[in-house]
Amino acid sequence: MKKLLLAAGGKPGALLLAPLYNALKKNGTFKPVAVFAAAKSAEPLSRELATCFGIGEAGHTITLGEDSPGQQLAAVITGMETIIEREQPTLVMVCGSDNAALGAALAATKLGVPVAVADAGLRCHDRSDADEINRILIDSIADLHFISEHSGEYNLINEGVADEKVFFSGNLSIDTLAVLMEQAERDTIAAELGLQPKKYALVLLNPAGAIAAREPLEMTLRLLKKMSGLTTVLVPLAAGLDELMKQHKLDKAFGGVEGLVMIAHPGHAGLLTLLRDSVLLITDSEELQAESTVMNVPCLTMMDNTARPATIEIGTNVLVGIDEEDIMSRIHDILHSGEHADSSKRNKIPEKWDGAAASRIVEVLGRVL
């Protein structure tokens, strides 16, 4: 039986790894071994993902300290080398675009083990984004590239990757969505909060993203105040967000906004439930951009670019930056008419975002390995 190492770091990588691990295990031809790199204080894999996708405790965890990015990368490479030498895998599959993913790819390459990458070819075309650099480096050394949307293929071919190394498998995060929604159907989190379907807006804020400085955080506060006059606003508190508000002495101001509900960040299944029942999503990261497109929930992203252009081209996503006036105008249109400029495209789902990406990847691996 061929052994495959599946490597991931943070939550985005885990959402790709989980359905692939499950599909490989069910196939019977391969023995998947999961490897996670996480800080001491972080949970390598959420219990809900481990339970839903049958990921046991037989894998490996590389513990990272509170070091610089370079030191963390070195720790992942060193840890992966030890694991690879012990497990002797046929292939290392990299999931995600963080330093854990890059370190896994580099370690495998140095030891002569073929590398495959999930979500290959995604580009936001912003070299100041650390994940963008990681994506480019990982793709440049990978032997097999599994793409989730057509932009990935275009980018890889333009960068000189041979056609025969590129496989259009679809979006693994939608596989995870399909499975977790079975659990989310039974989730009562919205009802417990007293929220009615399509009567609230979901807002996801990344404390390490665009709102980290005081000025954009104040703009966000003004935005939420205006929104709360139109509909209930729900903000799950991501790790560090409460501390950011306190750092800029804005915690009381946020807490005093009538119609603004701040809650502890739920598990991913609970978050998907809240997304499904929301009237719109506002986010300053790429989290849930793909899921909102599949769920047909309008998404306003407070960024200037995205690595998933399919969510804009035929999905629900609109890039709005931090233009307060433009954001409010679009919010008003969505809430008052149920329409916005790109509404004609919202009944479409990108090709192969159907919950079967993992099975396609396993089929390809069965042919080429």
**Between β-strands 91-95 and 200-204, what pairing exists: parallel, antiparallel or unpaired?**
unpaired
CA distance 115 to 94: 7
Contacts of 203 (CB under 8 A, 6+ apart): 224, 227, 233, 234, 235, 281, 282, 283
Residue 313 has pLDDT above 60, yes or no: yes
Question: Picking from 143-147, 148-152, 254-258, 344-348, which range would have the lowest pLDDT averaged per residue?
Answer: 344-348
* Residue 234 and residue 193 in contact, taking contact as beta carbons nearer than 8 Å: yes
Distances (CA, A) of 30 to 23, 25, 89, 169, 170: 10, 7, 10, 18, 21
Which H or E run includes 367? helix 357-368
User: What are the tens digits of pLDDT across the range 193-249?
Assistant: 999 999 999 999 999 888 989 999 999 999 999 999 999 999 999 989 999 999 999
* Residue 71 and residue 79 in contact, taking contact as beta carbons nearer than 8 Å: no
Torsion of CA 337, 305, 74, 101, to 10 degrees: 60
Residue 92 has pLDDT above 70, yes or no: yes
Question: Picking from 53-62, 79-88, 94-103, 125-134, which range would have the lowest pLDDT averaged per residue?
Answer: 53-62
One-character DSSP codes across 53-73: TT--S-SEEEEE-S--HHHHH
User: What are the tens digits of pLDDT across the range 56-91?
Assistant: 777 899 998 878 889 999 999 999 999 999 999 999
Which H or E run includes 301? strand 299-301
For the chain, give the number of residues: 369
* Residue 108 and residue 142 in contact, taking contact as beta carbons nearer than 8 Å: no
Confidence of residue 186 (pLDDT cuts 50, 70, 90): low
Spatial CA neighbour of 116 closest among 88, 133, 80, 91: 91
Confidence of residue 318 (pLDDT cuts 50, 70, 90): very high
Whole-number pLDDT of residue 353: 97
C-beta neighbour count of 338 within 10 angstroms: 12
Q: Answer yes or no: CATH 3.40.50.2000 is held by domain 189-345.
A: yes
DSSP reduced 3-state for 262: strand
Whole-number pLDDT of residue 340: 46
User: What are the tens digits of pLDDT across the range 239-294?
Assistant: 899 999 999 999 999 999 999 999 999 989 999 999 999 999 999 999 999 999 99
The reply to whether 2-170+352-368 and 189-345 are identical in fold is: yes
Confidence of residue 346 (pLDDT cuts 50, 70, 90): low
Report which DSSP code applies to 195. Answer: P
C-beta neighbour count of 63 within 10 angstroms: 13
User: What are the tens digits of pLDDT across the range 19-32?
Assistant: 999 999 999 999 99
Q: Determine the CATH number of domain 2-170+352-368.
A: 3.40.50.2000
CA distance 281 to 149: 22
Whole-number pLDDT of residue 336: 84
Angle (CA) 19 63 269, round 5°: 35
Q: Which amino acid is at 181?
A: M
The tokens for 141 are 């050394």
Quick one: what percent of the chain has pLDDT higher than 90?
80
Whole-number pLDDT of residue 342: 47
* Residue 197 and residue 279 in contact, taking contact as beta carbons nearer than 8 Å: no
Confidence of residue 187 (pLDDT cuts 50, 70, 90): low
The tokens for 4 are 């495959």
Report which DSSP code applies to 263. Answer: E
Confidence of residue 192 (pLDDT cuts 50, 70, 90): confident
Mean pLDDT of 350-366: 97
Question: Picking from 31-40, 168-177, 285-294, which range would have the lowest pLDDT averaged per residue?
Answer: 31-40
Residue-averaged pLDDT of the chain: 92
Mean pLDDT of 40-53: 83
CA atoms within 13 A on the CB side of 293: 27
Distances (CA, A) of 46 to 14, 64, 87, 250: 9, 17, 24, 31
User: Three-state SS string across 275-298, please?
Assistant: HHHCCEEEECCCCCHHHHHHHCCC
CA atoms within 13 A on the CB side of 156: 30
Whole-number pLDDT of residue 302: 95
Whole-number pLDDT of residue 184: 65
Contacts of 225 (CB under 8 A, 6+ apart): 257, 260
Q: Taking the chain, what is the end-to-end CA distance rounded to the nearest angstrom?
A: 11
For the chain, the domains span 2-170+352-368, 189-345
